[in-house]
Structure 1
Amino acid sequence: MDYFVFVSVYKDDSGDEAPIPHEERALTQGVLKTLASKLDDLSTCNELIGKHGAALQRSLSELEELRGSNDNTDKVKAVNERATLFRITSNAMLNACRDFLDVAESHSRRWQKALHYEREQRHHLEETIEQLAKQHNSLERAWRENPSSYAGVERPQDGDVSDDNEEAEFFDAMEDSTAFITVTAAIRQLASQVSAFTFTESLFVCFKDTSTNHLQLRRTRRTRIPDKPNYSLNLWSIMKNCIGKDLSRIPMPVNFNEPLSMLQRLTEDLEYSELLDRAARCDSSLEQMCLVAAFSVSSYSTTVHRTAKPFNPLLGETYELDRLEEYGYRSISEQISHHPPAAAHHVTSQRGWTLWQHITIDSKFRGKYISVVPLGNIHLQFHSSGNHYVWSKVTSTVHNIIVGKLWIDQSGDIDIVNTTTKDTCRLKFSPYSYFSREVPRKVTGVVEDREGTAHYILSGTWDDKMESAKIVESSQGGGGSEGKQKTVYQTLQPKLLWKKYPLPENAENMHFFSSLALTLNEPEEGVAPTDSRLRPDQRLMEEGLWDEANIQKQRLEERQRQERKKREANCCKSQDIEGYQPLWFDRKTDENTGDATYFYKGGYWEAKERQNWSQCPRIF
C-alpha cells in the first residue's frame, strides 16, 4: 500500500514561495507603501536640514566677523530666524523617524510572531509525518511477515522496506484491523495539525492500493459555479398584473430566480455558525446574548447584493447540509406547506447548541417595491447552560422594481429573549432614507438583564460587522423628538463581535454568492430523493440553460397543482386543506411561546445511513 502526502504551504524551508493569499499580499503591499512614504518624508526632512544647516552656518560665520561692532542687530535677527527654521526642520525629522520606527517595529513584531508560529507548526508537522512514516514501516513489516493476511495486495520488494528502525511497532496477523485504524488516526492527526497552520493553503492526504483509485479523505468543496447568462427580460410586462398579490401564487420564469431554493437560503443563515460555537463557551449569559444577537444580524449580510428570488420549494422538498467534519453541525429542512409557503428547519451541533425554526413567508408586490415578511420564531438552545433564545426576522424590501437598479433593504426590530434567564436584546434595523445622516444599513441594540438594567450596547451594519461595548454608567439626557428623555450610556471601547467574510472572486458573475452559498447546490451522493440539489429546473438554471429550466419549472408546478387537487379530493374536512403530513417534522405547541410550531422528530440521518428512502414522495 502506497501513501501520498501533499502539503501546499505558504513558504517552505528552502525559501521557495507558493502563491501568497490575496489578503496577505494586499496587507504587505499596504505596509510597504506606508514605509516608502515615511522614507520619502525622511529624505525631504534630510534635505531641508542640510539646507537650513548650511544657511545657519553662514549666518554664524558672518556674526563672528561682526563681533565687536555695534551694527549687528540685523545679523542676530537673521541667525535667530535660521536657527528657528533649523529647529522646526529637526523636530519634523525626529517625528518622521519616530513614525517610521513605530510602523517598522509594529509590523516587524507581527511578522516575527507569524514566522515563529509557522516554524513551530512546521516542526509539529514534521514530527507527525515522521510518526506516520514509522507506522507505515511497521505495517510493511507486518505485511512481510504475514502475507496471507493481506490477500490481493502486491508484496513490496525487499529493498523498499527499511529494517533498521528500532522504534517501529509490530502487529501480528490477528491485529491487522487495529493496524489500519492506527494509520487512519495518524492521518486524521496530521490533518488536524495542518488545519491549525495559519499559512497552509491546502492539504491532501491520499492513499491507494491495487483495488481502489486515489481516495481523498476530506472533501474539497467547489469554489465557483457557471457564470450567470446575460438575458434581458421586460419585468413590467410580468409584474404589472401582480400588484397587491401574493407572489408565491404567481408563476415566474427562472429569470427572476437565483439557483438556490428557499430551503437552501434558510440554511445559508449558518454561514457564521462559529458565533454560536463561541457563545456556547460563554460563562456569562449577557455576553452570550451579544454573540447570539450578532449571529441574528449576520444572516442578512449575504443579501446585500442578492435581489433575485430563490426557488419556491415544492411541497415535501427537503434540503440537508452535513458539515460535521468541517464545522460540527448537521442541518435538515423540509417544505411543510405550499400555500402559504412554510418550512421547518433543524440544526444540531456537536459544539454545544441546537437551532430550530418554523418560517412562513408572506410576500407582496406593492408597485414600486416587493416586501418579504418572514413569520415565525427562531429557537436556539445551548446544551451546557440550557439557555433558550427566541427571536424572529425583520422585513426585507426590494426597491426599484419598475425603474432603476434593484436594491434591497432590511428594516424593523428583532426582539431576542433568553427564556431561561429573561435577558433581552432589542435590535433596531434602521430603514434607508435619502435624507438621513445615519450610516446606511445601520443596526443598534441594547442588552438588558431581567430587571431591565442595560449592560451592553450593540452597533454596526447588517452588511459588514457588529460590535459590542460594555456599559459602565448610564444617565438621563435631554428630551427627544417626542418629549421623552433619552438615556445616555457611557461605555468602554467597543469589541468586534462579527465581521463579514469577503465575497469570492468573480462573485458578481455568480449571483453574488458567498463561499458557503457556492457549495449549497453542489451535487452530493446519498441525499434524499426530495433534496433541492436534485431539482431539475434549478440545476438547469445553475448551468445556464434557462430556456430548458423554464420548461422544467412549468412541468413541476403543473404536477404539483395536480397533486394538490388529489389531496383536496381525498382529505377529510378535519384535515389541513393541504392534506400533507411532513415526513421529518411534527406539529406541536411550543412551551415557551405557546405557539404551534414544527419540531424535528428524527429519523432522517438514520434513513440516510441505511439509504432507505422508501417513504419519500416522488416530487421531481
Structure 2
Amino acid sequence: MKGRGCWEAASVRSFCSSGCLNKLKKDDSGDDDEETASPTDKSELHQTLKELSGRLAELSTCSDLISKHGAALQRSLNELDSLKIPWESGEKLKAVNERATLFRITSNAMINACRDFLELAETHSRKWQRALQYEQEQRVHLEETIEQLAKQHNSLERAFRGAPGRLASPSQTFSQGSLLTAKGEDSEEDEDTEYFDAMEDSTSFITVITEASEDRKAEGGTVTSSVEWTSADNEREGASIVPKDSSKVKRRTSIPNKPSYSLNLWSIMKNCIGRELSRIPMPVNFNEPLSMLQRLTEDLEYHHLLDKAVHCTSSVEQMCLVAAFSVSSYSTTVHRIAKPFNPMLGETFELDRFQDMGLRSLCEQVSHHPPSAAHYVTSKHGWSLWQEITVASKFRGKYLSIMPLGAIHLEFQGSGNHYVWRKSTSTVHNIIVGKLWIDQSGDIEIVNHKTKDRCQLKFVPYSYFSKEVARKVTGVVSDSQGKAQYVLSGSWDEQMECAKIVHSSPSSDGKQKTVYQTLPTRLLWKKFPLPENAENMYYFSELALTLNEHEDGVAPTDSRLRPDQRLMERGRWDEANTEKQRLEEKQRVSRRRRMETCAASCSGEDERETDRYVPLWFEKRLDPLTGEMACVYKGGYWEAKEKQDWHMCPDIF
C-alpha cells in the first residue's frame, strides 16, 4: 500500500514538472503569438485539439488521485478525532480537516474550468476553420474570374482587330499607343507606379490606313516612292518564314517532363525584400534547366530577320526588321516564369550552328557580382552582334523587377550600318499570391550610328483595367532628318507589323497626338508555335530544347557540362540542390584564393579590385559609341576548339 501511494505521488509530481499546466495557461492567455495565431491548416487544428484533450485526460487522472487521497486523509483525520487527545491538538486536527476539504473543492473547480476551456476551443476552432475555408474559396474564385475576364477581353480585342472589312475605310484607326517618354527617364519603375492604367492624355499617335493605290504626296510636295521592300523577297508573309535547311545533325525535340514539386516562393523570399536577386540563395526548384548564358543565346531564335535585313537597300526598311528582331527576343518569356541558373564565374556557352542556322555564338560569364555576361555572334550571311549584359534585379515584395543593363551592337558588314539599343525591363507579378505572370515595360531606342536613323519602341505595361491589347508594342521609325517613315505595331509575344507612312498631321481632338496616314500593314515577324507537350517541358521553344543537349568538343567550362543543371533536367532535384551548394562553395573558395594571391602583391586602391575576374575570351574596351567600358570578344575560342586545346580553361565544375 505504501509503495502504491509513492508511485501515485510520483505520477502527480511528474505531470506537474512537465509544464502541462503552464502550457495550458500560456495557450489560453495568447502570449505565444506564433502558436496561437489563426491556424491555416486543418491537420494543425486537429493536432492542437488532440493535445488539449490529452492534457485534460491527465488532469482528470490527477483529479481522481486528489479525490482518493483527500478522502483517505479525511478518514484518517476522523479516526484521530475519535481518539482521546488533548483539546489543543483536537483544534489543530479540525483546521487540517477543513484545509483538506478546501483543497479538494479547488481541484474539482480547476478540472471543470479546463473542461470548459476545451469545449470553447473546439467550438471556436470549427468556426475559424469554416471561415478560413470560405475565404480561401472566395479568393480562388475571384482570381479565376479576373483571369477569365482578362482572357475574354483579350479575345474580343483580337476578334475586333481581325473583323472583315474593318480596315477598308481610309479613316479607320488600327493602332493607337504611347510614344516614348522623356529620353532620360529612369527605367527602374517605382513600386507605386508599377500597376497603372492606359494614359490616354500622354503623347501618342494614331495611324490611318490608306489603300495601296492611293499614293499621296508627301509634305514636301514630292510623290512617295514605292512601298514595296527593296529586298529580294517581296512576299507579304516572307518575313515570318524561316528557311529550314536540312541539317546532318539530329537535334532533340523533348526533355524529361518537369517533376511536380511544391515549394512556397514567398516563404523563401519574404526576408529578401530589396535585396539583389543574385545574392539570394535559391534552390533549383525555382529554376529552369538552362543557364543565363543559354537564355541570352536564345535571343537568336529569330535570326532569320537579320539574315533578311542584310539584303535591304533601304536603311529605314532594314531598321524595321532590326526592330522586329529586338522585340522577338521577348516572345520566349511569356510563359517562362522560372529563373535560369546563375552562371559560375568563367562559365561559357557556345552555339556552333553554321550548318542549319548559319551562325556561331559564344557567351562567357565575366563577372559574378554584379552578374554580367559577354556575348558575341557572327553570321555567314554578313552580320555580327555583340553585347555585355549586366542583370540588375530587385525583389520589391509584390513583384520582381529585372533590369538588363548594357548596350547591344549589331553591324552589317556589307552596308556598314551599325545599330545600338538596350533591353527593356521585365517584371514578374504575383510573387505573394496568385498565378505568376511576366510583363515587359519601358522604352527602347534603336539608333543606326551610320545613317542616324532611329526607331522608338514603347512596351505598354499591361493592366486589367486598360483598354489596350495585352503585351502591346508600338513604335515609329524615323530617318536621319527626323521624319517618320514607318509605324510599327504588334505584341511582344505574337507578332510585329509595319506600315509605310504617307502623310502625318496633328490630331484634331486637341490632344498631343500625331495622326499618321499609312499604307496597308506588312507582317514583319510572327512567333513560332511551341512544341507539343511544352507545358510539361518548362514552355521551352524548339531552339531552347536543343541548347542543353550534350555535344562533344565543347570547352570544359560549357554550361552543358554543369552537373547541377544536368541533374535538374533529368528530374533529380534533390541531388541537383546538393550539387548546386557544392559548386557555389567551390566558387567562394576560388574567390578567396584570388584575393589572397593578389593581396600579397597589391596594396591601396589595387587591393579593392582583387575580386575582378580576368575573362578568358573577352577583354574590357572602351565603347566609342556609348562611352562605356564593355567586354568585347578578343578571339581564340574557335581556334582552341579546332585544336581541342583547353589547358587555359579554369576548373569551375
Q: TM-score range by the shorter chain?
A: 0.5 to 0.7
Q: Tell me which structure has the larger Cα radius of gyration.
A: 2
Structure 1 CA distance, aligned partners of 2:557 and 2:611?
A: 18
Query: How far apart, in 2, do the equivalents of 1:252 and 1:475 lie?
Result: 53
- Contact 1:347/1:354 (CA < 8 Å) preserved in 2? yes
CA-CA distance at 1:616 after TM superposition: 0.1
1:586 maps onto 2:586 in alignment? no
The corresponding residue for 2:650 is 617
1:270-419 map, 5 Å:
270-419=300-449
1:488 aligns with 2:488: no
Asked if 1:234 is matched to 2:267, the reply is no
The aligned residue for residue 256 of structure 1 is 286
Contiguous gaps of at least 5 residues in structure 2? 1-240
User: Contact (CA 8 Å) 1:227, 1:510: kept in 2 or not?
Assistant: yes
**Once superposed, what is the RMSD of the aligned Cα atoms?**
1.5
1:450 to partner: Cα distance: 1.4
Q: Residue 289 of structure 1: SS of its match in structure 2?
A: helix
Deviations 1:40-59 (A, max 9, x none): xxxxxxxxxxxxxxxxxxxx
Q: CA deviation at 1:564?
A: 1.1
Which residue number in structure 2 is paired with residue 424 of structure 1?
454
Name whichever of 588-597 and 454-463 sits farther off: 588-597
Candidates 574, 596, 601, aligned match of 2:606:
574
Q: Please say if residues 396 and 410 of structure 1, whose CA atoms lie closer than 8 Å, have aligned partners that are also in contact.
A: yes
Contact 1:322 1:330 in 2 (8 A): yes
Tell which has more relative contact order, 1 or 2 (C-alpha 8 A, sep 6+). Answer: 2
For 1:254 and 1:513, the matched residues in 2 are separated by 17
Structure 1 position 569, deviation (Å): 2.3
Task: Report deviation, 1:251.
Answer: 0.8
Deviations 1:483-514 (A, max 9, x none): x6311000000000000000000000000000
1:514 aligns with 2:544: no
Deviation sequence 1:412-437 (CA, Å, 0-9, x none): 00000000000000100000111110
Amino acid at match of 2:519: L
**Structure 1: distance between partners of 2:509 and 2:591:** 58
Note the C-alpha offset of 1:568.
Answer: 2.0
**Residue of structure 2 in register with 1:119 after alignment:** none
Contact 1:271 1:299 in 2 (8 A): yes
Give the secondary-structure state (helix, strand or coil) at the position aligned to 2:606: coil
Matched, 1:555 2:582: yes
Q: Which amino acid aligns with 1:529?
A: P
CA distance in 2, matches of 1:360, 1:415: 18
The reply to whether residue 446 of structure 1 matches residue 476 of structure 2 is: yes
Question: Partner residue of 1:523?
Answer: 550
- Contact 1:568/1:579 (<8 A) preserved: no
Secondary structure in 1 aligned to 2:466? coil
The code of the aligned residue for 2:629 comes to: A
Give the aligned partner of residue 81 of structure 2: none
> Which of 266, 270, 274 is the aligned partner of 1:244?
274
Report the TM-score, using the length of structure 1 for normalisation. 0.64
Give a deviation string over 1:348-389, Cα, whole Å, max 9, x none: 000010000000000110001111000000000001000000
Give me the whole-angstrom Cα distance separating, in 2, the residues matched to 1:258 and 1:492: 43
Residue deviations 1:54-106 (CA, integer Å, cap 9, x gap): xxxxxxxxxxxxxxxxxxxxxxxxxxxxxxxxxxxxxxxxxxxxxxxxxxxxx
Aligned to 1:436: 466
Counterpart CA distance in 2 for 1:443 and 1:569 is 50
Look up the SS of the partner of 1:549 in the other structure: helix
Q: 1:238 to 1:563 in 2, by over 3 A?
A: same
Task: Give the secondary-structure state (helix, strand or coil) at the position aligned to 1:344.
Answer: strand
Contact 2:245 2:356 in 1 (8 A): no
1:291 and 1:441 mapped to 2: Cα distance? 19
* SS of corresponding position for 1:459: strand
* Equivalent position of 1:596 in the other structure: 629
Deviation for aligned residue 1:594: 1.2
Amino acid in the other structure paired with 2:527: K
**In 2, are the aligned partners of 1:443 and 1:462 still within 8 Å (CA)?**
yes
Contact 2:367/2:612 (8 A) holds in 1: no
- CA-CA distance at 1:201 after TM superposition: 10
Deviations, residues 496-542 of structure 1 (Å, cap 9, x unaligned): 00000000000000000000000000000000000000000000000
Instruction: Give the deviation of 1:267 after TM superposition.
Output: 0.2
CA contact (8 A) 1:337 1:578 kept: no
Q: Give 1:580 deviation, angstroms.
A: 1.3
How big is each residue's C-alpha offset from its partner over 1:257-283, in whole Å with a ceiling of 9 and x where there is no partner? 000000000000000000000011100
Q: Percent identity of the aligned residues?
A: 71
Aligned length: 406
Deviation at 1:202, TM superposition (A): 10
Output the TM-score relative to the length of structure 2.
Answer: 0.61
Q: Distance in 1 between matches of 2:245 and 2:349?
A: 28
SS of the residue 2:355 aligns to: helix
Change (3 A) 1:261 1:201: closer
Between the aligned partners of 1:528 and 1:425, the Cα distance in structure 2 is 38
The alpha carbon displacement at 1:224 in A equals 0.2
Mark the CA change 1:347 to 1:479 in structure 2 (over 3 Å): closer, same or farther.
Answer: same
2:299 pairs with one of 269, 278, 288: 269
Candidates 204, 223, 245, aligned match of 2:253 = 223
Letter in 2 for 1:352: G
Structure 2: which amino acid aligns with 1:330?
A: R
SS at 1:413's partner residue?
A: strand
Residue 605 of structure 1 is matched in structure 2 by 638
